[in-house]
Amino acid sequence: MDGTSEATRRDALKLAAAVAAFGTALGFRAIGAEAQPPGAATQQKVIKGERTELKFLKIQRLEIKLYQEGKFVQGYVVPSSVHKFFRPGEQLELKFFRDGKYMADPLK
Amino acid sequence: MLPEGLRTPSVVFDLEWSSPFAYTCNACSRCCYGKAILVGPYEILRLARNRGLTTTAFLAAHVEGGGVLLRVRPDGGCVFLTERGCGVHADRPLACRLYPLGRHIDAEGRERFGHLPPHPETAGVYGRDGTVGGYLSAQGVEPYFAAAARYADLYQRMLALLASLADGDAEAGAATGPTEGPATPWLDVDATVEAYCLERGLPLPATVEETVAVHIRAVDAWLDRLAAGRPAA
């Protein structure tokens, strides 16, 4: 790649970063999986994550289900003696251990 | 570029400026939790001035997601929510002014509004004894709409120039970039404006509106250089 085309590519990357940032900030780029037609913009509050939705739920049954490649493998029902202590606004945190050691990234 | 886990609520945009609508906010603040607030250059500038900060300092302290997403507290609440409500109410972002509505502009430029799903325990009261336009005017949306339109023109120019400079690879590379700090230095309005004025021996703009105008001129000048094939700053 010669000097001119390298400079052009650098400029294009800088411009692409600006397009991505301005487009997202102004509502031109899709949030989540929803498509946004070219030239259209949406401005509104966006829902952030699923965790806070627990704030509004009264939990009657809590299950943890494991899937492998989209197929159900195993399920566990969290005893009511545990989930009855959950209160609105509290957070549920799942921690993964292997051989007694905490795994920060269970995918590794 | 954005953190994972954001999703757009399902909204039907079927309201016009004249459609019947009223909403009384009773300051329960429930809509200030679990939301992602996207902010553009004008909103960042207004919020920064509200906090007595430069946009450089504001972006570092309060914005994530490549410079376009307001940070939230660990409990999911807006970082500016206080015990007495919104701590930046006079300069709150457009999404907060629109709420409980969303705004959609289609590719032909038609503007529509839609109801966002309310919090199930909201203290807000809906009505029909006003109009969408009346409600939004009372929220002070006009300068935000005007700034969004000016930046939208700038964005369209960027997009057209990008198409002439590169294929889709460049955009894909940028979209998967790091999320710490602004994804582009051009989002930092004060730094951009200061460099532009210094280079040309111009006085720094005094008002937010003047600053936006100079910011857009500065980005335009960069795009001019790119379009002419000259080395970019």
Tens digit of each residue's pLDDT (9 = 90 or more) over B174-211: 443 444 678 899 999 999 999 999 999 999 999 999 99
How far, CA to CA in Å, does A94 sit from each of A104, B49, B77, B191?
A: 11, 40, 21, 42
Measured CA to CA, the distance from residue B15 to residue B54 in angstroms comes to: 37
Cβ separation of B175 and A20 shorter than 8 Å? yes
Can you give the length of chain A in residues? Answer: 108
Q: In this structure, are residues A9 and B170 in contact, taking their beta carbons and an 8 Å threshold?
A: yes
Cβ separation of B8 and A22 shorter than 8 Å? no
Band the pLDDT of B70: cuts 50, 70, 90.
very high
> Rounded mean pLDDT of B121-149?
95
* Phi and psi torsions of A31, nearest 5°: -105, 135
The 8-class DSSP code of residue B34 comes to S
Low-confidence ranges of chain A (pLDDT < 70): 1-7, 30-36, 47-58, 69, 88-93, 95-96, 103-108
Cβ separation of A24 and B9 shorter than 8 Å? no
Band the pLDDT of B114: cuts 50, 70, 90.
very high
- Both tokens of A35, joined, read 């498509």
Band the pLDDT of B167: cuts 50, 70, 90.
low
How far, CA to CA in Å, does B216 sit from each of B4, B15, B105, B150?
A: 30, 31, 21, 8
ipTM: 0.90
**Is-cis flag, bond preceding B100, omega within 30?**
yes
The whole-number pLDDT of residue B105 equals 92
- A35 to chain B, minimum CA–CA distance in Å? 10
- Among B81-85, B96-100, B175-179, B213-217, the minimum mean pLDDT is found in B175-179
Residue whose structure tokens are 């940032």: A21
The yes-or-no verdict on residue B47 having pLDDT over 90 is yes
More confident residue, A47 or B120: B120
The yes-or-no verdict on residue B143 having pLDDT over 70 is yes
End-to-end CA distance of chain B: 23
Helix axes B208-228, A3-25, angle to 10 degrees: 150
Which of B1, B92, B159 is the best mutation test for A, with the most CBs of A within 10 A? B159
In A3-62, the residues whose Cβ lies within 8 Å of chain B are 7-28, 30-34, 37-53, 55-56
Most distant CA pair in chain B, distance = 57
Cβ separation of A47 and B152 shorter than 8 Å? no
Measured CA to CA, the distance from residue A86 to residue B133 in angstroms comes to: 43
Q: Say yes or no: B17 contacts chain A, CB-CB below 8 A.
A: no
Measured CA to CA, the distance from residue A66 to residue A92 in angstroms comes to: 17
**Contacts A7 to B, Cβ<8 Å:** 231
- Provide the residue type at A69 as one letter: E
Q: In this structure, are residues A40 and B106 in contact, taking their beta carbons and an 8 Å threshold?
A: yes
Measured CA to CA, the distance from residue B26 to residue B23 in angstroms comes to: 9
Cβ separation of A46 and B187 shorter than 8 Å? no
The whole-number pLDDT of residue B171 equals 47
